[in-house]
């Protein structure tokens, strides 16, 4: 298992963002669904070793991230796209991806090839030497995805990766996700259920800091039978599970 | 040689003639063309620090405009204040802490847009901050040396503050890299600076001034507590994980 969480909790003052989550994930693409404020981003930040849990246990790639050496090893094999990607406007696309490849402690000799491959995978070859300040929001999102996958991570964490992508790029990205999920654990947090339906092998639905559903997209769809809220079958399943959790 | 600005993938008709993986070939060509050739400074820093990532952080420090401006103002401002009250050893002892807090704010969660991303990287964020600090003082010391040729005040500031702080921050960075611990590096920097200040004060017969002047105890303590609180707050998630 690349991800093991046991009764993981995270609070910010009196606000419980994550209220006891148990999760075990192997390879594959795992979708994390839920309304705003459900705790998806806090959960992802804990998996990215950016935010420590208030209580509970986390093991990533077989290691306990509380130890400095283990945390460093985890981070070498980790890819992370935060919800709001900050960037350095004066850097070019290649410089930005290369900078984070080096901070991930990739071997220097492997960096140029890995950067070029990552740029091509997100279809940004035409903008490789463009300054980040000249790029559109969707292109910046693709730069963020490229820096996340540049080290071929064993654990890839993507927070709202398709936000700002046009439909064509979204289709391309889902294909990329499926290929990445063949060898690694990919966790995608999103509120776009169509992303989950086409790209994810498994899905969890969070509400009020807890996982209220876990199964395949088909199983989530089946939960929506007879439910009227939602335009697509998967959306009806999503709404039905949420309504049940809230009641 | 430049690759024209065209999308990276070749048309399907040209894909894989004779079993050749054109995507891979293209990526190899692109890697060579887009490859950035590090300058002498970065190559040397990478060798010394045993980390190309830290070396890159070091040389890119001045290019991050807003953090750079804030850090430079802090470095020069603290140096100027220190120069005003040279008779107080504790001023000298606390001054690097104030400067470090300013630089940590500028290149930390305060204004660094990619801070969240940096936190998830293998090179510890505090080591990156050490590299940033060393770069801030080194570049400003170089500028100070230039200014020293025309101004006596600039020379005093440069040789009395910027150059020593460059040495101390470089020492802290070197020790943290060797010990693989930012805390050990910080301890080495503080120790070196304390020894230097106390030795120089002893040589001039002023070592007891700070201990005998009780009026300065409270302000010094307040500054020290504030610095510790700011650093502790700014770095709290990493400490607890």
This complex has an ipTM of 0.88
Q: What is the pLDDT of residues A172-206, one digit of tens each?
A: 888 888 888 888 999 999 878 888 888 898 999 99
Domain shared by A70 and A111, yes or no: no
CB-CB under 8 Å, A86 with B31: no
Neighboring chain A residues of B46 at a CB cutoff of 8 Å: 108
Neighboring chain A residues of B60 at a CB cutoff of 8 Å: 88, 91, 99
CB-CB under 8 Å, A104 with B23: no
Neighboring chain A residues of B240 at a CB cutoff of 8 Å: 52
Q: Phi and psi for A85 in degrees, rounded to 5?
A: -80, 120
Domain shared by A43 and A164, yes or no: yes
Give the number of other CB atoms < 10 A from CB of residue A109: 7
Residue where a domain terminates, one of A109, A126, A152:
A152
Comparing B42-46, B56-60, B90-94, which segment has the lowest mean pLDDT?
B90-94
Give the minimum alpha-carbon distance from B133 to chain A in angstroms, rounded to a whole number.
Answer: 17
CB-CB under 8 Å, B113 with A108: no
* Residue of chain B whose alpha carbon sits nearest to that of A130: B5
Residue A162 falls within a domain, yes or no? yes
Domain shared by A160 and A147, yes or no: no
Count of structural domains within chain A: 2
The separation between CA B198 and the C-alpha centre of its own chain, rounded to angstroms, equals 25
Neighboring chain A residues of B31 at a CB cutoff of 8 Å: 112-113, 115-117
Residue A70 falls within a domain, yes or no? yes
Domain shared by A53 and A171, yes or no: yes
Q: Phi and psi for B51 in degrees, rounded to 5?
A: -155, 105
B233 in contact with A, Cβ within 8 Å: no
Neighboring chain A residues of B181 at a CB cutoff of 8 Å: 68
Is the CB of residue B186 less than 8 Å from the CB of residue B169? Answer: no
Tokens of B214: 């009780």
Residue A29 falls within a domain, yes or no? yes
Residue A230 falls within a domain, yes or no? no
Give the minimum alpha-carbon distance from A47 to chain B in angstroms, rounded to a whole number.
Answer: 10
Q: Which of residues 92-151 of A touch B (CB under 8 A)?
A: 94-95, 98-100, 102-105, 108, 111-113, 115-117, 119-120, 123, 125-129, 147
Instruction: Please provide the average confidence, as pLDDT, over all residues in chain B.
Output: 77
CATH of the domain at A31: 3.40.50.300
Residue where a domain terminates, one of A113, A130, A152:
A152
- Residue B20: predicted pLDDT: 66
CA atoms within 13 A of residue A197's CA, in its CB half-sphere: 15
Domain shared by A89 and A196, yes or no: no
Average pLDDT, stretch B137-145? 92
Percent helix, strand, coil in chain A, to 5, is 40, 25, 35
Long-range contacts of A182-185 (CB under 8 A, 24+ apart): A182/A27, A183/A27, A183/A154, A184/A2, A184/A27, A184/A152, A184/A153, A184/A154, A184/A155, A184/A156, A185/A2, A185/A3, A185/A25, A185/A26, A185/A27, A185/A28, A185/A30, A185/A154, A185/A155, A185/A156
DSSP-derived secondary structure for B8-23? SSPPGGGS-GGG--HH
Residue A243 falls within a domain, yes or no? no
Domain shared by A3 and A59, yes or no: yes
* Residue of chain B whose alpha carbon sits nearest to that of A51: B237
Residue A240 falls within a domain, yes or no? no
Comparing A198-212, B163-177, B186-200, which segment has the lowest mean pLDDT?
B186-200
Highest mean pLDDT among A49-63, A185-199, B104-118: A49-63
Domain shared by A121 and A89, yes or no: yes
Q: What percent of chain A has pLDDT over 90?
A: 60
- Nearest CB to B123 within list A50, A105, A123: A105
Residue where a domain terminates, one of A136, A152, A168:
A152
Is the CB of residue A30 less than 8 Å from the CB of residue A186? Answer: yes
Residue A67 DSSP one-character state: S
Domain shared by A50 and A142, yes or no: no
Residue A99's domain comprises: 83-152
Whether residue B218 is predicted with pLDDT greater than 70 in this model: the reply is no
Residue A140 falls within a domain, yes or no? yes
Nearest CA among A18, A10, A3 for reference residue A59: A3
Q: Provide the β-strand partners of residue A3.
A: A25, A60
Residue A242 pLDDT class (50, 70, 90 cuts): confident
The helix/strand/coil state of B64 is coil
CB-CB under 8 Å, A52 with B128: no
Residue A18 falls within a domain, yes or no? yes
- Nearest CB to B237 within list A52, A98, A102: A52
Give the number of other CB atoms < 10 A from CB of residue A68: 14
Domain shared by A169 and A145, yes or no: no
Whether residue A133 is predicted with pLDDT greater than 90 in this model: the reply is yes
Domain shared by A147 and A160, yes or no: no
Tokens 């010094």 correspond to B220
Domain shared by A1 and A52, yes or no: yes
């Amino acid at each position: 298992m690349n991800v093991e969480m046991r009764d993981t909790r995270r609070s910010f003052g009196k606000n419980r963002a994550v209220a006891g989550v148990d999760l075990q994930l192997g390879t594959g693409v795992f979708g994390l669904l839920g309304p705003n404020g459900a705790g998806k981003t806090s959960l992802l930040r804990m998996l990215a070793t950016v935010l420590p849990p208030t209580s509970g246990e986390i093991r990533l790639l077989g290691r306990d991230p509380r130890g400095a050496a283990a945390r460093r090893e985890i981070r070498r094999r980790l890819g992370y796209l935060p919800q709001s990607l900050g960037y350095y406007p004066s850097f070019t696309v290649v410089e930005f991806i290369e900078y984070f490849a080096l901070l991930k402690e990739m071997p220097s000799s492997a960096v140029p090839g890995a950067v070029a491959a990552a740029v091509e995978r997100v279809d940004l070859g035409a903008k490789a030497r463009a300054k980040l300040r000249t790029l559109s929001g969707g292109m910046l999102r693709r730069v963020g995805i490229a820096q996340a996958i540049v080290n071929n991570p064993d654990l890839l964490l993507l927070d709202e990766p398709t936000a700002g992508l046009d439909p064509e790029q979204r289709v391309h990205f889902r294909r990329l996700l499926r290929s990445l999920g063949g060898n690694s654990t990919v966790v995608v947090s999103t509120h776009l259920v169509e992303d989950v339906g086409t790209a994810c092998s498994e899905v969890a639905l969070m509400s009020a800091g807890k996982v209220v559903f876990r199964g395949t997209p088909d199983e989530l769809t089946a939960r929506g039978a007879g439910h009227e809220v939602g335009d697509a079958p998967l959306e009806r399943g999503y709404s039905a599970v949420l309504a049940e959790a809230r009641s | 040689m430049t690759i024209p600005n065209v999308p990276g993938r070749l048309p399907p008709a040209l894909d894989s003639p004779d079993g050749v993986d054109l995507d891979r070939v293209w990526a190899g060509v692109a890697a060579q063309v887009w490859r950035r050739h590090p300058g002498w400074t970065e190559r040397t820093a990478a060798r010394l620090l045993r980390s190309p990532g830290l070396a890159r952080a070091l040389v890119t420090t001045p290019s991050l405009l807003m953090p750079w401006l804030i850090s430079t103002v802090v470095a020069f401002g603290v140096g100027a204040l220190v120069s005003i009250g040279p008779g107080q050893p504790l001023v000298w002892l606390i001054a690097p802490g104030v400067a470090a807090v300013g630089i940590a704010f500028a290149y930390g969660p305060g204004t660094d847009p990619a801070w969240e991303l940096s936190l998830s990287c293998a090179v510890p964020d505090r080591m990156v901050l050490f590299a940033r600090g060393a770069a801030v003082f080194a570049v400003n010391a170089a500028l100070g040396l230039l200014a020293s040729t025309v101004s006596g005040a600039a020379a005093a500031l440069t040789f009395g503050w910027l150059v020593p702080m460059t040495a101390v921050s470089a020492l802290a960075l070197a020790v943290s890299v060797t010990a693989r611990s930012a805390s050990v590096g910080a301890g080495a920097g503080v120790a070196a600076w304390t020894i230097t200040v106390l030795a120089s004060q002893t040589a001039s017969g002023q070592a007891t001034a700070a201990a005998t002047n009780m009026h300065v105890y409270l302000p010094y303590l307040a500054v020290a507590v504030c610095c510790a609180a700011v650093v502790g707050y700014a770095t709290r998630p990493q400490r607890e994980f």
